[in-house]
Amino acid sequence: MDLFDLSNNAKKNTPLAERMRANTLSEFLGQEHIVSETGLLFRAIKLDRLGSCIFWGPPGCGKTTLANVIANNTDGKFVKLNAVSSGVADVKAVVEKAKEDLRMFGKKTYLLLDECHRFNKAQSDSLLPAIERGDIIFIGSTTENPYAAMTPAIVSRCRVFELKRLSDANILDALKKALKNKEKGLGNMNIQADEDALFHIAKTAAGDLRMAYNALELAALTTDAKDGVVHITLKDAEESIQQKALSFDEQMYYDMLSAFCKSLRGSDADAALYYMQRLIKGGCDPLLIIRRVIAHSAEDVGMADPNALVVATSALTAYEKMGLPEGLLPITEAIIYVCEAEKSNSVVIAMDAAAKTPSKIRMITFRRG
C-alpha cells in the first residue's frame, strides 16, 4: 500500500463533522450577528487584523470551525492546544517558538486553546505576558461563561464573542449540503433521505451541528442499499440520533406544552403530571420540561417559596445524572412541589421595574405571598 492509499484511508475514516468543517467565511454557517459582512469580526479576519479573542457558546455551534476559518485566512502560523491535555511547558514552548518566528520572519502566531476555561491560574499566568506583548494572538474556545470560569486577567485582554445555538433551518441546510457534497460529504453514496428524517435530526440536535452530522453519517453507513440507493427514513433517523419523533403535530405539541405550563401556574399537580407524561411519551425531551419547571419556580412561585427553585434545579441535576426512567422521579417531585407551593410574581415585577428605570436607583421591597 502506497502513501496515496494511506492518505485516502485516513480521509475516509475522518468523521463527517470534521470533513464538512468550513474553511472560509462564505462556507461558515450561522452566527450572522458576528460574521456578517459589516461586522467587526468579519472585517478583522478579512484584513488579518484580529487580536486576541474568546469564542464562547454551546457545543457544535461553530467555535472551533470559526478558529479554523481564521487560520485559513491569515498569514500567520496556527497552533492548536487543548487546555485539558496541555500544561505550562506546552504553552511556554509555543510562546518561545512564536517569539522566534516573529523576530526572525515577522510571522504572527495564532494559538487556539480549546476548552480554555479548564486552564488554571498557573497555566494562565504563563500565557499572560505573551498576550500583553503581542508575541501570540490568543484564540480561546469555551462552552462556559468566560467572565465566570476564566482568569479575569486573560479575559480583560481579549474580545469575547458569544456564539448562539444554530437554528433548525441552519442545521437542515447543512445536512442537505453534506448529502450533495461529493468531495467532503456523502455525495458519492447515492443517498435518498426523506424530508421528515432530516427534519427530525435537525430538530433533535438542538443547535448542535456536530451531533446532527454524526447522526446523519451513522444512518447512512448502517442503512442497507436497495438497488444502489441508500434510503434514510424517519425510523432510521430516530435510531441514529436515539430519540423518537414527536407522535403529534407541531400545533398539538405547543398546545400541550402550554397546557402543562398553565397547570403549573394554576397549582393543578394532577394536570401537570398528565401533560408531562403525554409530552414525554410523544417524544418530547424531558430536559425541556424540567427547564420549564425551573422557569416557573422563579416566575410564579418566586419569593413565596424560594426553595421551589432549589428543588427544580436539583431535579435537573438528578435527571442528567440518572437518565431515564429513574430520572423522571425527581422531575415529578419538582412538578408537584411547584404546583403545591404558594405563588408570588414579585420577582417578575421587580425585574420589570428595574429594567424600566435604568437611570435611577430604586429600592424594591419584596413581599412574601
pLDDT of residue 132: 87
pTM: 0.63
pLDDT of residue 6: 40
Strand order in the sheet with 159-162: 77-82, 109-114, 137-142, 53-56, 159-162
Sign (positive or negative) of CA dihedral 256, 258, 261, 266? negative
pLDDT of residue 333: 95
Q: Rounded to an integer, what distance in angstroms lies between the CA atom of residue 236 and that of residue 247?
A: 16
pLDDT of residue 250: 67
pLDDT of residue 37: 76
Helices 195-205 and 168-180 meet at what angle, rounded to 10?
Answer: 130
Q: Rounded to an integer, what distance in angstroms lies between the CA atom of residue 279 and that of residue 274?
A: 9
pLDDT of residue 5: 47
Q: Are 131 and 52 in contact (CB under 8 A)?
A: yes
pLDDT of residue 365: 52
Look at the block and give the residue holding cell 480549546. Answer: 114
pLDDT of residue 303: 93
pLDDT of residue 315: 94
SS (H, E, C) the chain: CCHHHHHHHHHHHCCHHHHCCCCCCCCCCCCHHHHCCCCHHHHHHHCCCCCCEEEECCCCCCHHHHHHHHHHCCCCEEEEEECCCCCHHHHHHHHHHHHHHHHHHCCCEEEEEECHHHCCHHHHHHHHHHHHHCCCEEEEEECCCHHHHCCHHHHCCCEEEECCCCCHHHHHHHHHHHHHCCCCCCHHHCEEECHHHHHHHHHHHCCCHHHHHHHHHHHHHHCCEECCEEEECHHHHHHHHCCCCCCCCHHHHHHHHHHHHHHHHCCCHHHHHHHHHHHHHCCCCHHHHHHHHHHHHHHHHHHHCCHHHHHHHHHHHHHHHHCCCCCHHHHHHHHHHHHHCCCCCHHHHHHHHHHHCCCCCCCCCCCCC
Domains and CATH numbers, the chain: 31-162 (3.40.50.300), 168-241 (1.10.8.60), 250-346 (1.20.272.10)
Regions of the chain where pLDDT drops below 50: 1, 3-7, 10, 247, 360-361, 363, 366, 369
